[in-house]
Chains A and B, each alone.
Chain A
């Protein structure tokens, strides 16, 4: 095989694969700008005859999309902030603070990863029902306030902090909280960005638990709202595509701007501890 041919073959395949990966997303954007009914014609149109924002207007004025968007923003932001605080504290403790049973406790947490989250969902629903948290933001947020993955990620990263730095601060008489806030947190900044974007994307895209715990439209997040619209408006392709754009675009933009941190976290999280 000549190098010239190999080069065109490899780049051609990459181009083809990228086209397959992106085509559905680009077409979603195109169809979302079509007037109602245009997508249901033959052959399937690639571009709108005349671009219109009517579908978006319809979604926000009549289908409650604005509310879903707001719910998604509130829920995802709160989950990100709260779980970041809790995971940072726990991950740092596992990495740098000595206490009896540390390794065994950590191994236990990692071991718990083999239990699929769905096993907990039925009793969790009953638990939240008895305390009146079904169909509330808190019902979605509270179970996501700490994750084993997040603790693991922070621990891996925090192990790189030199012990001398912490010891020196202790000798100077600094309290543990002070050390954490003033010395440790600034050093953990890169992993904070990584974990934040990871958590936000996961919370934004989460489906099964919000579907279960959010029983009324008022609290629906975007994926739940979109799924319920998709069952009602199965035939309104253009409207559904606009809904998909609203759901996907924020996370796609977030990923594109912070891609480096996201991919770093993906690799850190997949390396065995």
Chain B
């Protein structure tokens, strides 16, 4: 029997699903982003016009697009490093030979990852309630005045970042933990014999050995954080004063609330291009870092 024919039969269902429900729509989105597809076109397709890059041009002149982009970048630039530091810190603690009950702690720290964003966002909305929330209650004991966490444009995004870090850090913690376990123990023993301090061991053994893992986790985390949507949808509805409207939130509102499908598709494509560019830059920087290390060794 011909294995090649069998292979295509085995592949057919999955490829059909991916082609029909992913590849085709992605191409469609590129096409739609070049048209003025809106409510009138939804009603009657004859109202559709080709506008070339008109949607993109219009977006670049809209303040709301720039603020959505700014908010998303704020979330990525502050949230990703915080989340990686939390993950690495937790992994280092769990990896320490002095730690007890490791399995128990690992499960506890990972638990937020498997929870449903909407459900735990509802909890955080309560924890950070201005009047009855625990956050302000604790601050009150320190003599600090209540903060309107989700109602103040300056505090809403930091609160969402804190929520995202709490929810997600366990995922990368597991990957870092596996990375730490893969570092040969004799490297540390040799360093200890040379009298290297814990910090120097971390700086000169742990970090370089973890390099490829850090890069991969960094890239995956950045592209995950660019896709901010559910958190502001539930916690702030994009407010206050649009301070938590992310790029995807803008796409959702444009497309599914106002039915400006052409414009919304352009938003989606700009986000994709941005994410792609950031990934490429991170890969390049990572490779250059590698060469540098290689030269030093």
Contacts and interface: CB of A to CB of B under 8 A. Distances in A.
B6 A97 contact: yes
A89 B123 contact: no
Contacts, number: 273
Given A44-B137, A116-B226, A18 B105 contact: yes
B209 to A, nearest CB: 16
Counting chain B CB atoms within 10 Å of each CB, which of A18, A102, A267 scores highest? A18
A170 B1 CA distance: 8
Given A87-B14, A89-B11, A241 B123 contact: yes
A97 B7 contact: yes
Given A227-B233, A267-B175, A42 B132 contact: yes
A191 interface: no
Given A248-B115, A251-B116, A24 B124 contact: yes
A24 B123 contact: yes
A176 B122 CA distance: 50
Contact of A201 (B11, B114, B223): B114
Interface residues of B, number: 88
B14 A176 contact: no
A143 B23 CA distance: 11
A23 B88 CA distance: 21
Nearest to B15: A90
Nearest to A266: B174
Contacts of A74: none
B60 interface: no
A176 B114 contact: no
A75 interface: no
Interface SS majority for chain A: helix
Contacts of A42: 131-132, 137
A79 to B, nearest CB: 11
A33 interface: no
A115 interface: yes
B29 A120 contact: yes
Interface in B100-126: 100, 105, 107-112, 114-120, 122-126
Interface stretch (B51-59, B67-75, B77-85, B251-259): B251-259
B185 interface: no
A69 B199 CA distance: 50
B93 A14 contact: yes
Interface string B158-191: 0000000010001100110010000000000000
Given A241-B126, A243-B122, A122 B29 contact: yes
9 contacts: A10-B98, A24-B123, A114-B276, A116-B268, A146-B14, A205-B115, A222-B119, A226-B119, A227-B233
Interface of B: 1, 3-4, 6-11, 13-15, 17-18, 21-26, 28-29, 32, 90, 93-94, 96, 98-100, 105, 107-112, 114-120, 122-127, 129, 131-134, 137, 166, 170-171, 174-175, 178, 216-217, 220, 223, 226-227, 229-230, 233-234, 237, 248, 251-252, 255-256, 261, 264-265, 268-269, 271-272, 275-276, 279
